[in-house]
Structures are given as C-alpha cells and as structure tokens.
Amino acid sequence: MALDLSAIVARHHGDPSRLVQILHEVMASEGYISPPVITDLARALGVSRGQVEGVVGFYAFFSSEFRGRFTVLFSDNITDELAGSRELREHMLSTFEVAPGQVTRDGLVSVGTTSCTGLCDQGPALLVNGRAIARLSRATIGAISALIRGNTPVEQWPSNFFTIESHLERKDLLLATLLAPGEAIDAAVSRGASATLAEIANSGLRGRGGAGFSTGAKWAACAAAPGPERYIVCNADEGEPGTFKDRELLTHYAGLLFEGMAVAAFAVGASKGLLYLRAEYAFLVEPLLLLLSERRKAGLLGKDIRAVHGFDFDIELHLGAGAYVCGEESALLESLEGKRGIPRNRPPYPVTHGYKQKPTVVNNVETLIAAAMVARHGAQFLRAAGTAKSPGTKVLSVSGDVARPGVYEYPFGTSVQQVLSDAGATDTQAVQVGGPSGTLLANGELQRRIAFEDVPTAGAFMVFNGTRDMLSVVDNFTRFFAHESCGFCTPCRVGTTLNARLMARIRSGTGSRRDAKDIARVSQIMKTTSHCGLGVTAGNPVLDALAKFRPAFDRQLRSLDVLPTFDLDEALAPAREASGRDDQGAHLDNEGA
C-alpha cells in the first residue's frame, strides 16, 4: 500500500505535537521512515527537518533505514534470557543465515533484540513487525520462520500465535472490589472538587510508580496552579524489565483507570486526558479505544459529564515508541509533545508546567485506579490495609524462577518471603525488586517488607534460584542501561557504557580487582551527577551485587591489580582471517606479553 503522507498528516490535524503518532503510521505503511519522507513530513508540519530526524533517531521502534519486510525482535530481558531466548534467537539467525540486526540480502527479514516486551510471565517472547508473540519454543520459531520465508503477511498468521495469557494470580483490596461504570465519578461530583481533593489526601495514597509521592499533594498543587487549562496524564509506559502489571490492569480494569482519570479531572479542573501506552502493548490499543468510545456514549466522557455543566473531559491514547527513559514523567511529557524523550530540568514541576507547559497531573495506572476507589468509598477504604506510612495495597509482577509467574496484589507490609511462597519459589538465591533500577535482595533478606519505609517498588519481582549465575544477571542489567541511556548527560551516557564493558570483562574472566573498583566508582558517580533517575539508579544492580554477592565477582577476577584494556591478540583477528592462519603461532600469549 502506497504511503499517503498528506492523509496521515491531515488525520492528525497537521499538529507537530502528534509527530510520534504520525511516525507510527508511516512505519506501519512503509516499514521505515525514509529521508525523503522525513523532509516531506517536516515541511507538512512546519518544523525543521532536524527535529523530525532527531525524533526518528531517538526511538528504538522507528528507523530511517529499511529493516526488512519482517522485523523480528527477541526480548533481551534477563527472565527471557534465562528461559532460552538467546538460543532461540541464534537458531533463527542461523536459519536465515544473517547476522544480528542485519537484513537478509533479499530484504526479507532482520533479527535483533529489544529490551523487554512486558511478557516476562510468559517468555521467551518476541515482536514481529510490532506484534507480540509469547511462550516461544523451537517449534514456534520454526513455524514463524516458515511463514516469513513464505512472505505471509503478519495479519494472516494464525491468531493463536498472538494470544496473550492472563496471569492475575492474587486479588486483594483494590482488585477484588468492583465498581459499576460511573460510581466513582458520581461520588466525586456529589462530594465536590475540594472535598474530593481532601479525601485523596486523607487516604494517604502515594504514587505507585516507586517514588511514593503524595497523590493528594500532587493533585492539590495542580488545582492551585494559575491558568484555566489543565491536563491529566496516565503513565502506562512500564518499560522496567520484569514489570507487566499494567498489562493486566489495562486488560481487566481499564474502566476503573478511566474512572480515576475523570475523578482527577473533576478534582483539579482538567478538560483533557492522555494515556501514554508503551509500544509493546499495541495489542491493547483496539480494546482501549473501544472502551473509550463506549464511555463517551454512556456520558462518562465528553461534554457535561453526568449532566454536570462545565464538567468536560475526554481522553486520547498515545503510543510510545520503545524508549525506557519515557517512563520518567518529564521525558514522557516531551514524548507526548512529539519530541525526543529527554528529561526536563526540574523545577518547574509538571503540576505547574507539564504538558505544553500547562498544569498537569501525571500518575501511573495503579495510582489512578486506587484514586477511583478512594473517590467512591472514602479515605478509610485505603487505610483499611497496609501500614501507617504505606496505606493500601501494591500490585506486583512476579517472574523468573517461580512456579506461578503472574500479577499478585498484597497489602503493604507483606514480606518478600510471603510473595515468594505464594508464587511457588524454591531455593531462592536472590530477588530483584523494582526492576534493574530497584533493590537486589539476597536470601537472608527475604523477611523484609514491601513498603515505602522498607523496600519500595514500582511492582517488579524477578526471582533467581540457586542455579543462577548472579554475574550473568548483573551483566544483563548493565547492558540494558547502556542501551536505554538517552545520551543527554555525560555521567549516564559514558557511565552506563563503561559499566557494561567492565562487567563483560569481569564475567569473561579477564577482569581485575581494579575493574571491580572502577565499576563501583563509576556507579557512584552516576548516582550523584546524572541528570535524571535513569542514570541515578543505573548503578544500583552493580553496587548491590558487589555488596551481597562479592564472592561471585572474586571467583572471576584475575589476581593482577591492573590488566591492559586493549587486547592485542583480539586486534590481530582480522589479520589471521585474511591470512587463513589460526594456529598457535598466529596468536599472542597475553599472559606472557
């Protein structure tokens, strides 16, 4: 199908802030965004070519080069890797006789990796032309390869390939309480905007994204900000490896989410909402749009909601494009405005200068669902569970070495051990709580509690049993951060790359005690000097592993304090290939050099 760029631009009203969404349509039509299209698009939107080119280059799911009629991206998340993703990827590369990331000579296919698909409970997983396939096996890869060789359009593949299973394993206060459509909105309207703000504050609701900022304080600050225009933004860009709870919440509780967004809009006086959905969850777009349409017809979105004059509020869905940093709220706002997702300097904060520099509330999916419940049942609903400092419950994504991976809801204050027991974990060596940027807990710490005052978390639980090599786990995390750094600030851009290289040396057995010292020092520098939370937390897995699993490092280190960073023998590899020699005499002895 020929690209009709003018029609695409017209559908988005020629709005430059819709650039990311426009580029998604171009990718769907062409498979890539060619330089001439970049030029035409810049002209059509009235922006510089450099701006469009910069956005195309920033996001992993956009490309200015042809990637093949089929683009296959295997999840590179550690839980997928431990489940066999790497071996399956190598098998497909061998099948098509192609190197990673390269396109076959006939332009048919490229095979590469993506950081995480949000399917950690049913991995290994991959994306093919943006569509997710879970529970991969050798047989599945064979069937996929045959369909690609036959040039069968992805839309014609067997539908069972794209089945995403639901693993909602435990419900508690939040997920076990049902609301009829409109109940929370009616309660908020009856109570009034000011009283609704007070109820949210009195409930003690804290942001469920991990930082735990007071939701009531955030809403009140937005409501008090000057100016008539306000926005509600839902952050559904859960790109943290090991996190997939929003996938289940958006599948089964999207009505509650939209209810919570409408309650927030009523409380702060907002007229527009934006749901920022991670690109890996594209399979949720159609059902979410259908539900939004149904709520408009029911008078729960749109003009004069519930016949309240002036209560005008509607929600748009925006799709991300594969940038982990956009989980940071200011980077997400930049992306919503059609820009590269570079985190902003703060202050000012989004509550006064958010989307399009207007007062904006940014909350994640779980927080807004909890807010809907508080609006309906009052502040004491949340305080009936949890702890004094952490009222309510937490929804967790549990994956890795457990018998029953999935989504679990627990009251704050529940021990890590309780979660592991319920999920069927045995011989647990370590748990990564909160994803790579979170906290690595060793076996002796499993009685610690999930709470803001003990172990805070955005929701990820990756479990590793006694057979796992913790250096392999940390190596995966350092590569993840090196790949996902936006490159804006030097400490993060350079530090994440150094950590990945140092970790690779240590894991390969060619590292020294100096390398272990350097990787700790680099991690500390990033923590104190990085521009945003990505760099601040990127060294966490290294520092935790050095503190709690030091023998694993020591077993891999050579006794020398310093080793050369340049491998001369490796540098001579092209010469050996050219000469056809690979005997002992063609190699240098690094030990004796």
Here the CATH number for the domain that contains residue 149 is 3.40.30.10
Residue 585 lies in a domain: no
What is the per-residue pLDDT for 593? 38
User: What average pLDDT does this structure show over 541-561?
Assistant: 88
Rounded Cα distance between 186 and 201, Å, is 19
**Claim to verify: residue 222 and residue 312 sit in the same structural domain:** yes
Q: Which residue among 325, 348, 383 closes a domain?
A: 383
What is the per-residue pLDDT for 1? 55
What is the per-residue pLDDT for 211? 84
- Is the predicted pLDDT of residue 560 greater than 60, yes or no? no
* Percent of the chain residues past pLDDT 70, beyond the cut: 97
User: What average pLDDT does this structure show over 40-51?
Assistant: 97
**Claim to verify: residue 435 and residue 504 sit in the same structural domain:** no
What is the per-residue pLDDT for 308? 96
Reported confidence tier of residue 574, pLDDT bands at 50, 70, 90: confident
**Claim to verify: residue 243 and residue 368 sit in the same structural domain:** yes
Residue 571 lies in a domain: no
Reported confidence tier of residue 576, pLDDT bands at 50, 70, 90: confident
**Claim to verify: residue 398 and residue 511 sit in the same structural domain:** no
Residue 431 lies in a domain: yes
What is the per-residue pLDDT for 566? 58
First to last CA, the chain: 60
Residue 589 lies in a domain: no
**Claim to verify: residue 82 and residue 128 sit in the same structural domain:** yes
**Claim to verify: residue 150 and residue 209 sit in the same structural domain:** no
Reported confidence tier of residue 559, pLDDT bands at 50, 70, 90: low
**Claim to verify: residue 210 and residue 291 sit in the same structural domain:** yes
Residue 568 lies in a domain: no
What is the per-residue pLDDT for 577? 72
- Is the predicted pLDDT of residue 132 greater than 90, yes or no? yes
Residue 305 lies in a domain: yes
What is the per-residue pLDDT for 575? 74
User: What average pLDDT does this structure show over 23-49?
Assistant: 96
Distances (CA, A) of 538 to 434, 463, 476, 494, 524: 12, 19, 12, 12, 10
Rounded Cα distance between 416 and 439, Å, is 12
Residue ranges of alpha helices (H) inside 384-469 are: 416-423
User: What average pLDDT does this structure show over 213-232?
Assistant: 97
The tokens describing 527, both together, are 């923590």
Residue 415 lies in a domain: yes
Identify the weakest region by mean pLDDT among 72-81, 208-217, 401-410.
Answer: 208-217
- ∠ CA 207-453-240, rounded to 5°: 50
What is the per-residue pLDDT for 319? 98
Residue 582 lies in a domain: no
Chain-wide mean pLDDT for the chain?
95
- Is the predicted pLDDT of residue 579 greater than 80, yes or no? no
Q: Which helix (H) or strand (E) holds 132?
A: strand 131-133
pTM for this model (two decimals): 0.93
**Claim to verify: residue 196 and residue 339 sit in the same structural domain:** yes
Reported confidence tier of residue 568, pLDDT bands at 50, 70, 90: low
Q: Which residue among 165, 195, 228 closes a domain?
A: 165
**Claim to verify: residue 16 and residue 139 sit in the same structural domain:** no
What is the per-residue pLDDT for 592? 37
Domain boundaries, position 453: 393-468
Count of other CB atoms within 10 angstroms of residue 579 = 10
What is the per-residue pLDDT for 590? 46
User: What average pLDDT does this structure show over 226-230?
Assistant: 96
Q: At 431, which CATH number?
A: 3.10.20.600
**Claim to verify: residue 428 and residue 323 sit in the same structural domain:** no
Reported as a single tens digit per residue, the pLDDT across 231-261 is 999 999 999 999 999 999 999 999 999 999 9
Reported confidence tier of residue 591, pLDDT bands at 50, 70, 90: very low
- Is the predicted pLDDT of residue 191 greater than 50, yes or no? yes
Identify the weakest region by mean pLDDT among 64-73, 207-216, 317-326, 565-574.
Answer: 565-574
* Percent of the chain residues past pLDDT 90, beyond the cut: 91
Domain count, the chain: 5
What is the per-residue pLDDT for 169? 98
Name the more confident of 592 and 210: 210
User: What average pLDDT does this structure show over 260-276?
Assistant: 98
**Claim to verify: residue 215 and residue 270 sit in the same structural domain:** yes
Q: At 322, which CATH number?
A: 3.40.50.11540
**Claim to verify: residue 521 and residue 534 sit in the same structural domain:** yes
Rounded Cα distance between 57 and 46, Å, is 19
| Order of strands across the sheet that contains 460-465 | 168-170, 406-411, 393-400, 460-465, 428-433, 439-442
Q: Which residue among 31, 58, 85 closes a domain?
A: 58
